[in-house]
Amino acid sequence: MSLRHLLRLKLLQVFPMVNFLSSAFSVFEAHSESSSACDKKSIRSRYLKWTAAVRKAVTIGPMRRFHERILGSARTGISNSTSDIWLLGVCYRISPDDSLVDFPTNGGLADFEHDFSSRILMTYRKGFSALGDLKYTSDVNWGCMLRSSQMLVAQALVFHRLGRSWRRQLQKPLDQDYIDILHLFGDSEASPFSIHNLLLAGKAYNLTAGSWMGPYAMCRSWETLAKCKREANDFENQPLPMVVYVVSGDEDGERGGAPVVCVEDAHRHCSEFSRGQADWTPILLLVPLVLGLETINPRYIPALRSTFTFPQSLGIMGGRPGASTYIVGVQDDKAFYLDPHEVQPVIDVGRNSVEADTSSVVRHMALDSIDPSLAIGFYCRDKDDFDDFCLRGKKLAEESKGAPLFTVTQNLPKPVSHSNVLGDSSEVSDSFEALPSNNEDDCSHEDDWQLL
């Protein structure tokens, strides 16, 4: 049976209301049988043009997701495993019965899919107001990292305003808080966290329209944009009601080795964010990493997988080389993600309504295929939540076998001056006994890290 006939049958089985497709096919077939040879050639030409248009329609936008759901390709990789799935800090235990059905109505898979579909999908857009010197009106082929970062920050806002247990109910009106969150990411300068404003904030990190950007520059751009919005609004009316803490280095230069989460740094950021009005505020932690050269070093994969078990998990900005996605979950050696590489027209996100389709089909990739340049996100609601994150981070570093993603400390050591190390210059010895020995074990992991 041809793909055309298979698709038509499945359409009629699942959605009888779309029998207009069947009628259209039948019209062409009927004419083909009763027409002359010349007419048949003309009809066939029109038929091919019409089917090409249909094929194009089902491969873009919502129709592409509709096509995938019917043919089953969107769920590849989750129906043949009974291993636990971790999705942004929540564990879904998959029973053997669930793995045998195509559209589960109970058990772990159904709950997982509902949770997954409640995450906000942001994709390429076309038709927004021009940006950059070249007057781009679309971010197709270059804005995937921007969109991935928007999804991660939007998820932090969902956790903050609606809670981790919130799910999108398709049969009910959308929560106003949810609509307000989407409004922040509209594609215009009027929306605080649009790609227009992100590019402006990222100029110092060479963010430009039409050029692909990396996770580190993206994290720093969010830090800059959040600071600008913080200074423009009072403490009670922040569009991003949390401090952005980029865990990758100090202001004078990046630290070598694993990034350090410093409790003192976090406290200072909170105090600055609240302008001294609060001892602690919610925190959005962004941890940009480079975990290898061309491919991710396998030693980091277990730790990377474990970050999704943190209740504070916001997932990962990353994906395959040159194609950023928003990774939100793991199962065995697979990573589940939201894909921004779908072109949709700009929509008007109103204060009281929304026309955007923000749900996504389930897609996955192999964990070891992820680009080594990525950024992990965490959201800590309060001091207790942050303390819990630090305990989990310390344990993760201890279990990393010398390859931690990041470490945690109470405070950073103060820089040591040369006088403190060598004493008075008149007493400097020619001996090198005081210097660290060339111990191969101490340097065995040095090649695995690059300066971010």
pLDDT at residue 62, as a whole number: 47
339 is catalytic: yes
Alpha carbon separation from 171 to 63, 87, 135, 313, 357 (Å, rounded): 20, 24, 40, 28, 14
**Tokens linked to 313:** 């998990």
pLDDT at 374 over 70: yes
E-assigned strands of 340-405? 344-345, 363-366, 373-380
In this predicted structure, what is the pLDDT of residue 351? 53
- The pTM of the full predicted model, rounded to 2 decimals, is 0.74
390 flagged as catalytic? no
Active-site option among 31, 267, 341, 445: 341
pLDDT tens figures, 234-249 = 777 889 999 999 997 5
The mean of the pLDDT values for the chain is: 76
Q: From residue 200, give the alpha-carbon distance in Å to each of 206, 366, 381.
A: 10, 34, 28
* Weakest mean pLDDT among 40-44, 124-128, 442-446: 442-446
Is 90 exceeded by the pLDDT of residue 52? no
Residue with tokens 């949770």: 115
Return the DSSP state at 296: B
Confidence at residue 357, expressed as pLDDT on a 0 to 100 scale? 61
Instruction: Give yes or no: 443 in active site.
Output: no
Per-residue model confidence (pLDDT) at position 409:
94
What pLDDT, on a 0 to 100 scale, did the predictor assign at position 233? 80
Q: In the predicted model, what is the mean pLDDT of residues 295-304?
A: 95
Which residue in the list 67, 98, 115, 144 is annotated as catalytic? 144
Candidate list 111, 115, 139, 339, residue with the active-site label:
339
